[in-house]
Amino acid sequence: MFTGIVAAVGTIREAAPNGAGLRLVIDVGGLDMADVQLGDSIAVNGVCLTVIEFTPTSFTVDVSHETLSCTIGLDGRGEVNLEKALRLADRLGGHLVSGHVDGVGEVVQFAPVGDCVLLTIRASAKLARYIAPKGSITVNGVSLTVNKVVGDEFSINLIPHTLDVTALKRLAPGVKVNLEVDMLARYAERLLAYTDASDKD
């Protein structure tokens, strides 16, 4: 489990074929590796991955074909947002994030507005129903608040701090991003569906 509060921006240094998937070596940037152990989970652009090797400045993970098929940004070199798994004593500064990407969205607008940036993303129809104004969404592993929803597009205001400490500043129209919707929305949908089914018995 994660919070969507990015700890560092790292870089995929190597992406080598590993069966049907990939083995990645990731430079950690400013991520503190002092307490990392083999088997720990680290979110990479919002994708929960397991550490199989590490040094003070890098870690290695395997990415399955299934994960590659439903995510973006793990199949080549480039900057990635990093977050270590949440500990029970940690502050929940963002929202509860599982690290299981629900789908891929596309940036349709990335426009400066004063010191901030207006980010608009198009989601698939099956994900758009879970996205609500003032609700939470995870974009490439970053916990963000939705400002506006119109059809299958939603808008977010990126403040200077978020731009400074994440790789979201590299976004541009046409770029694809990993999306994880608020898990509370999924649980609410499941509860309502289960209640409806039970009422018919």
Instruction: For residues 153 and 121, give the distance between their C-alpha atoms in angstroms, rounded to a whole number.
Output: 6
Last residue of a domain, one of 84, 113, 133: 84
pLDDT band at 195 (very low <50, low <70, confident <90, very high): low
Using one digit for the tens of pLDDT, what is the confidence trace for 50-62?
999 999 999 999 9
Last residue of a domain, one of 84, 114, 147: 84
Handedness of CA 137, 73, 171, 81 (dihedral sign): positive
pLDDT at res. 77? 86
Last residue of a domain, one of 23, 55, 84: 84
Instruction: For residues 36 and 29, give the distance between their C-alpha atoms in angstroms, rounded to a whole number.
Output: 15
Cβ–Cβ under 8 Å, residues 51 and 40: yes
pLDDT band at 39 (very low <50, low <70, confident <90, very high): very high
Residues 17 and 78 in one domain: yes
Using one digit for the tens of pLDDT, what is the confidence trace for 80-132?
999 999 887 777 788 889 999 999 999 999 999 999 999 999 999 999 999 99
40-49 mean pLDDT: 98
Considering the chain, what is the average pLDDT of its residues? Answer: 93
Residues 124 and 180 in one domain: yes
Could you count the other beta carbons within 10 Å of the beta carbon of residue 85? 15
pLDDT at res. 184? 83
Q: Report how far apart, in Å, the C-alpha atoms of 173 and of each of 54, 57, 63 are.
A: 35, 32, 27
Task: Decide if 94 is inside a domain.
Answer: no
Residues 138 and 172 in one domain: yes
pLDDT at res. 196? 60
Cβ–Cβ under 8 Å, residues 40 and 52: no
Instruction: For residues 146 and 156, give the distance between their C-alpha atoms in angstroms, rounded to a whole number.
Output: 5
Task: Decide if 141 is inside a domain.
Answer: yes
Number of domains in the chain: 2
SS3 45: coil
Partners of 63 in the beta sheet? 22
Residues 122 and 62 in one domain: no
Residues 118 and 180 in one domain: yes
Non-local (6+) Cβ contacts of 51 within 8 A are: 36, 37, 38, 39, 40, 41, 42, 59, 60, 61
Which DSSP string do the residues of 76-122 spell out, in sequence order?
SSEEEEEEEPPPTTS---S--B-S---EEEEEEEEEEETTEEEEEEE
Q: Is the pLDDT reported for residue 201 higher than 60?
A: no
> Which residue is listed with tokens 């929940």?
92
pLDDT at res. 96? 86
Domain that holds residue 167: 103-189
Task: Decide if 197 is inside a domain.
Answer: no
The CATH number given to whatever domain includes residue 41 is 2.40.30.20
Residues 45 and 120 in one domain: no
Q: What is the pTM of this model?
A: 0.92
